[in-house]
Amino acid sequence: MNTFSRFPSRLQHAIVSRLGWSSLRPVQEMAGAAIMDGKNAIILAPTAGGKTEASVFPVLANLIRDEPEQVGAVYVAPIKALLNNQEERFGTYTEMVGLRKFVWHGDQMASAKKAFLEEPATFLMTTPESLEVMLLSRRVPVKRLFKDLRVVIVDEVHALAGTDRGAHLMSVLERIAIFASKDLQRIGLSATVGNPDEILDWLQGSSARDGCVVDPPTIPVKRQVKVYLQNTIPEIAQKAAADAEGNKSLFFCQSRALTEAIAERMQFRGTDVFIHHSSVSSEQRQEAEERFNQGRDASIICTSTLELGIDIGDLDLVLQANAPSTVSSFLQRMGRTGRRPGQIANTTFYCEHQEAVIQAIALIELAREGWVESVPPQNRCWPVIVHQILALTLQFGAISSEKIWDQLSLVPDFSSISSKEYRDLINHMIAGDFLFEADGMLSMGERAERIYGRKNFMELYAVFSSPVLYRVFTASKKEVGSLEQQFIDRLVEDMSSFLLGGKAWLVDSVNHEDKTVRVRQAPRGQKPSWGGFMPQLLSLELCQKIKSILIVGDEVSYLDDSSRRVLVAMRDDLGELLEHSGLAIQIDEESTIWWTFAGGQINFTLKYALEILGDWKVAADNFGIRIKHGGVTRDRINEIIRTMEREGFWDHPDVEKEIHQRLPEYRLSKFQVALPRSMATEVVGRYLLDFRGAKAFLERSMGKGRV
pLDDT (0 to 100) of residue 485: 66
Spatial separation of the C-alpha atoms in residues 161 and 205, rounded to whole Å: 12
In a domain, 249, yes or no: yes
Tally the domains of the chain: 5
Residues 493 and 456 in one domain: no
What percentage of the chain carries pLDDT values higher than 70? Answer: 90
pLDDT band at 372 (very low <50, low <70, confident <90, very high): very high
Q: Which of 344, 368, 392 is the last residue of a domain?
A: 368
Same domain, 237 and 358: yes
User: What is the model's pLDDT at position 131?
Assistant: 95
Q: Does 203 share its domain with 276?
A: no
User: Which residues, at least 6 apart from 446, have a Cβ–Cβ distance to it below 8 Å?
Assistant: 433, 436
Decide if pLDDT at 231 tops 70.
Answer: yes
CA within 13 Å, CB half, 204: 18
| Cα–Cα distances in angstroms (integers) from residue 707 to residues 139, 141, 469, 579, 601, in the given order | 61, 60, 35, 9, 16
Percent of the chain, pLDDT > 90? 62
Same domain, 358 and 391: no
| pTM of the full structure | 0.87
Give the residue among 315, 297, 307, 298 at the shortest CA–CA distance from 277.
Answer: 307
Phi-psi region of 231 (alpha: psi -120 to 50; beta: other; left: phi over 0): left
The whole-angstrom separation of Cα 562 and Cα 200 is: 44
455 and 516 both lie in a single domain: no
Looking at the predicted structure, is the pLDDT value of residue 492 above 60?
Answer: yes
Nearest CA-CA partner of 338 in 54, 21, 47: 47
Structural domain containing residue 455: 382-461
Please compute the mean of the pLDDT values over residues 685-696 and round it to a whole number.
Answer: 92
pLDDT at 533 over 90: no
What's the CATH number where 80 sits? 3.40.50.300
Query: Considering 368, 398, 430, which residue would you say is the last residue of a domain?
Result: 368
Q: Which CATH number covers residue 498?
A: 2.30.30
567: in domain: no
Given this model, what pLDDT does residue 272 score?
81
Beta-bridge partners for 441: 438
* Ramachandran angles phi, psi of 703, nearest 5°: -65, -35
Residues 150 and 297 in one domain: no
210 and 246 share one domain: no
DSSP letters of 418-436? -HHHHHHHHHHHHHTTSEE
Q: How far apart are CA 322 and CA 258, in angstroms?
A: 10
CA dist 94 and 103 (Å) reads 13
Reported as a single tens digit per residue, the pLDDT across 285-324 is 566 666 666 666 788 888 776 666 666 667 889 999 999 9
Assess if residue 556 is contained within a domain: no
For residues 156 and 248, membership in a common domain is answered with no
Q: Which of 66, 68, 82 is nearest to 153 (CA)?
A: 82
What are 619-647's pLDDT values in tens digits?
888 999 999 877 788 888 889 999 999 99
Give the domain-ending residue among 182, 214, 246: 214
pLDDT in tens, 18-45: 999 989 999 999 999 999 999 999 999 8
Do 627 and 670 belong to one domain? yes
Q: Which residues, other chains included, contact 402 with Cβ-Cβ below 8 Å and sequence gap of 6+?
A: none
- If asked whether residues 363 and 266 sit together in one domain, one would say yes
pLDDT in tens, 52-63: 999 999 999 999
In a domain, 608, yes or no: yes
Domain membership of residue 562 (yes or no) is no
Q: Which of 212, 219, 160, 197 is nearest to 31 (CA)?
A: 212
Confidence of residue 532 (pLDDT cuts 50, 70, 90): very low
141 in a structural domain: yes
Q: What is the pLDDT of residue 168?
A: 96
Give the CATH number, domain containing residue 440: 1.10.10.10
The answer, yes or no, to whether residue 455 has pLDDT greater than 70, is no
Strands (E), 55-166: 73-76, 101-104, 123-126, 151-154
Residue 442 lies in a domain: yes
Q: Where are the alpha helices (DSSP H) in 18-50?
A: 26-36
SS3 for 509? Answer: strand
Q: Answer yes or no: is 565 within a domain.
A: no
**412 and 350, same structural domain?**
no
* pLDDT score recorded for residue 634: 85
What pLDDT does 387 receive? Answer: 96
Identity at 485, one-letter amino acid code: Q
Q: What is the mean pLDDT of residues 349-376?
A: 94
Of residues 553, 472, 555, 479, the one with CA closest to residue 514? 472
Domain identity same for 12 and 114: yes
d(C-alpha 447, C-alpha 591), whole Å: 48
